[in-house]
């Protein structure tokens, strides 16, 4: 038995699924078909927050690019319900995105070796 709690193990499994899907890119196929790739602006009460959905990876996971407070953010998000509201996961600044992007090849190589 693992020393991690059941919830932590489930979160790690979900993180591994997301990482695997992100590394595979557009080659990921789900039972419901390939991921949707769209460019659309999300409705927002705040005009300074312009979301462009780039790729819908699965039902609750999507990648989008947005401007917020004069900065560009790349959102790689898994939406979840909390108190009846849909909440987003992580968001990367441009610097964080560049670091991640620069390491994708190394990550992909490590995945192939394991």
**Model confidence band, residue 79 (pLDDT cutoffs 50, 70, 90):** confident
Q: How far is CA 85 from the centre of its chain?
A: 19
pLDDT for 85 equals 86
Classify residue 74 as exposed, middle or buried by CB count within 10 Å of its CB (0-12, 13-18, 19+): buried
Distance of CA 111 to the CA centre of its chain: 18
Looking at domain 6-113, its CATH superfamily turns out to be Transcriptional Coactivator Pc4; Chain A (2.30.31.10)
pLDDT band for position 49 (50/70/90)? low
Q: How many angstroms separate the CA atoms of 74 and 78, rounded?
A: 13
pLDDT of residue 90: 85
């Amino acid at each position: 038995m693992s020393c991690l709690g059941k919830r932590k193990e489930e979160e790690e499994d979900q993180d591994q699924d997301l990482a695997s899907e992100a590394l595979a890119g557009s080659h990921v196929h789900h039972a419901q078909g390939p991921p949707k790739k769209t460019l659309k602006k999300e409705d927002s009460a705040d005009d300074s927050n312009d979301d462009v959905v780039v790729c819908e990876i699965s039902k609750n996971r999507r990648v989008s690019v947005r401007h917020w407070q004069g900065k560009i953010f790349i959102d790689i998000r898994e939406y979840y319900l909390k108190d009846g509201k849909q909440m987003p996961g992580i968001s990367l600044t441009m610097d964080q995105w560049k670091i991640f992007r620069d390491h994708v090849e190394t990550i992909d190589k490590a995945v192939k070796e394991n």
